[in-house]
Amino acid sequence: MARQYDVIIVGGGITGASLLYTLSNYSDVKKVLLLEKYDKIGGLNTSSRNNAQTLHYGDIETNYTLEKAKSTKEAAMKVLRYTSSLEKKGREKIISKCQKMVLAVGDEEIERIENTYSLIKESFPALKKIGKTEIGRLEPNIVRKRDKGDNIKALYSGTGYMVDFERLSNSFVENTKRTREKQYRVRLSTRVTGVTKSGGIYKVSSTAGEFFARFVVFAAGTYSLYFAKSLGYDKNLSILSIGGGFYYTPRVLRGKVYRVQKGGIPFAAIHGDPDITNPNINRFGPTVTVPLELEKGHIETMPDYIRSFDFDMPTAVSVKRILLNEDVKRILARNAVYGLPFIGKSSFLKNEASVIVPSLKYGDLTLSNDGGIRPQIIDEEKKALVLGEGKINHDEAIFNITPSPGATSCLVGALEDTIRITEHLGREFYEDKYRLELGEVSTGLHYHLR
Ligand SMILES: Cc1cc2nc3c(=O)[nH]c(=O)nc-3n(C[C@H](O)[C@H](O)[C@H](O)COP(=O)(O)OP(=O)(O)OC[C@H]3O[C@@H](n4cnc5c(N)ncnc54)[C@H](O)[C@@H]3O)c2cc1C
């Protein structure tokens, strides 16, 4: 009995932690176990070192559709509602307000942001279109030493946020409601090694033995599809691991400065950000690489990547189509050199960092080992990359695949999972309490692959 649960969650990043919190506070599900293979919560892609710390809001992300922009805003609002209920002292380390803009350099990019602005301005009334003088007032180092002939414009909002998603995940676990009746357990340093289903019950094998549950949720990031495939599901889906790294500089920017991304590319162009954990630096990134692994720098995850990729003819055709896209080719070719010694830093400075801050010098940049992997989903029917987060639902199992903005959308993802779990287990979802505390019962942000 001690090893039997209503729900087992595999993975203690922000997806698993927010689900633990949501189930405990907004449902009457009684026994839940979260298994995390590392010795802390939020230590992998959710770590503040490994992502861009942006609470995405949909207004400066030029690669989003209007629909995606609006649903991302609703997801961000949930994080804001949750964090506003925390005590000020702890909250400031989790979330911090900063200005933000998307900078357009040159006529083509300016036309793109003009179009974006017309499309989204009604949904984002705080967003302003600003010219060079105003940019110089708000972010002096964007204009200082810039070529006189450079034509620049920006979309700006004074209300952006940087988030330490690792601390936010830990706050979810700390605020998980536990009573004598409600057993919500977290086991760290416990790696799940396999899962099978028999007689309506899932057996989850791990380095700490076997556990049983009526419902399983894989919140294992890059590994979720691997486990779906091990159960025989979704042979026709794949993910492309998109690695992302960062260069650090002294503090030269006040807020977040995003760049224009070409439509159809599902990840952000390289941008400059402050760091919530260190007010004296800026981070420029994430760079884009295509490592054959499921965890950055962990070569031993390569066989698992190959197994979850499940290479067949439709996958080959999809990958070929994706990699032949002119924008993807351009981005990959440029980024391929950014990690190399000497030449990497100088080309990153020329192509990326100095386009944002022209006065930056070679010696100002330091390549860090930080960064993670965005598991971009390949839709083999459309032969294209999916824009953002995905969910696979199979009876009493959910598999969450979470590229950016998966940390921002954690509470919407957790809401969807909570509704599905309570429906399947015949339990109650506390809808009124949810509305009161976290807002709309909004679903549909995640791409449902099943
Ligand atoms: C470079 C980069 C920049 C990004 N920038 C942003 C941003 O600015 N804003 C934003 O919203 N999102 C951003 N993202 C995306 C965001 O970081 C992720 O969507 C989010 O962290 C995913 O959380 P997760 O819990 O699903 O996955 P993870 O954080 O990867 O957690 C999965 C957990 O599962 C565990 N696990 C895996 N396998 C097992 C197993 N077998 N047994 C037990 N445990 C297991 C892992 O150890 C890990 O802790 C970025 C991502 C990257 C890589």
Task: Give the chain's domains with CATH numbers.
Answer: 4-448 (3.50.50.60)
How far apart, in whole angstroms, are the C-alpha atoms of residue 94 and residue 75?
17
pLDDT band at 1 (very low <50, low <70, confident <90, very high): low
Looking at residue 192, what is its pLDDT? 98
Mean pLDDT calculated for residue range 355-376: 96
Q: What is the three-class DSSP state of 217?
A: strand
Percent of the chain with pLDDT over 90: 82
16 CB within 6 A, ligand 1: yes
Residue 386's pLDDT is 82
Does 53 sit in the ligand 1 pocket, CB within 6 Å? yes
Answer positive or negative: Cα dihedral of 438, 441, 447, 450: positive
Is the pLDDT assigned to residue 445 strictly greater than 80? no
pLDDT at 100 over 90: yes
Contact assessment for residue 400 and residue 391, using Cβ atoms and an 8 Å cutoff: yes
What lies within 8 Å, CB to CB, of 327 at 6+ separation is 262, 264, 265
26: closest CA among 192, 133, 182, 140?
182
Ligand 1: centre distance to CA 21 (Å) = 17
Q: Does residue 109 have a pLDDT over 70?
A: yes
Q: What is the pLDDT of residue 280?
A: 98
pLDDT of 429 > 80? The answer is: yes
0.95 exceeded by pTM: yes
Mean of all residue pLDDT scores within the chain = 94
Is pLDDT above 80 for 263? Answer: no
Whether the predicted pLDDT of 387 surpasses 80: no
Stretch among 82-96, 128-142, 321-335 having the lowest mean pLDDT: 321-335
Specify the residue for token string 């180092």: 141
Instruction: Give me ligand 1 centre to Cα 404, in Å.
Output: 9
Q: Which residue out of 10, 15, 51 has the highest number of ligand 1 atoms within 8 Å of its CB and is therefore the one to mutate? A: 51
What local confidence, expressed as pLDDT, does residue 315 receive? 86
Burial 181-214 (b: 16+ CB within 10 A, else e): ebebebeeebebeebeeeeeebbbebeeeebbbb
Judged by average pLDDT, the poorest of 326-330, 367-371, 372-376 is: 326-330
Q: From CA 356, how far away is CA 146, in angstroms rounded? A: 9
Minimal CA–CA distance to 239: which of 224, 220, 249? Answer: 224
SS3 441: coil
Instruction: Check: CB of residue 172 under 8 Å from CB of residue 21.
Output: yes
| H-run or E-run covering 285 | strand 278-285
Report the C-alpha gap between 114 and 102 in whole angstroms. 11
CA of 355 to the centre of ligand 1 (A): 29
- Cis amide linkage into residue 286, ω under 30° from 0: yes
Q: Which atom of ligand 1 is nearest to the CA of 45?
A: 29
Give the residue-averaged pLDDT of 20-31. Answer: 98
- What atom of ligand 1 comes closest to residue 404's alpha carbon? 15
Question: Highest mean pLDDT range out of 226-240, 328-342, 387-401, 402-416?
Answer: 402-416
Mean local confidence (pLDDT), 9-23: 98
User: Is residue 442 over pLDDT 70?
Assistant: yes
- Asked if 410 contacts 46 with a C-beta cutoff of 8 angstroms, the reply is no
Residue 373 Cα: closest atom of ligand 1: 53
Q: Is the pLDDT of residue 28 over 90?
A: yes
